[in-house]
Amino acid sequence: MYKSIRTAIANILRKRVSPTSLQFRLTVELIALSVISLTGVTVWAGWRMEQTVVNGYKQMLEYVAMRFPSPDADPPEPAVARAANNNATKDKINTINKLIH
């Protein structure tokens, strides 16, 4: 098998390819056009994917930002005041203070 592959390569290399022949020029042009086209599609797909990732990241940041209260919002003091006024909370604080001292 090795010998047959080497023989085939040697036969191809022995033949001289004329760079002025129509077949050679058309083949080179077709290869160049294919490479340029595939490069363009690859660049476009990469750019598009980057835009999609960036937009998804922006949407996630907006969602997270909406979940936080705005700085102008009132602090949750009523809930803290209710907890402080709760007798059970006072009892727990007193018990902890007794254990510490």
Structural domain contains residue 2: no
Q: How many domains does the chain have?
A: 1
What is each CA distance from 79 to 74, 76, 85, 93, 101, in whole angstroms?
12, 6, 10, 17, 29
What does the pLDDT read at residue 5? Answer: 76
Structural domain contains residue 6: no
Tens-digit pLDDT profile for residues 66-89: 877 666 665 656 665 666 666 666
What does the pLDDT read at residue 13? Answer: 62
Structural domain contains residue 73: yes
Q: What's this model's pTM, rounded to 2 decimal places?
A: 0.48
Range of the domain at 79: 18-100
Structural domain contains residue 13: no
Mean pLDDT, residues 89-93 taken together: 69
For residue 32, pLDDT beyond 80:
yes
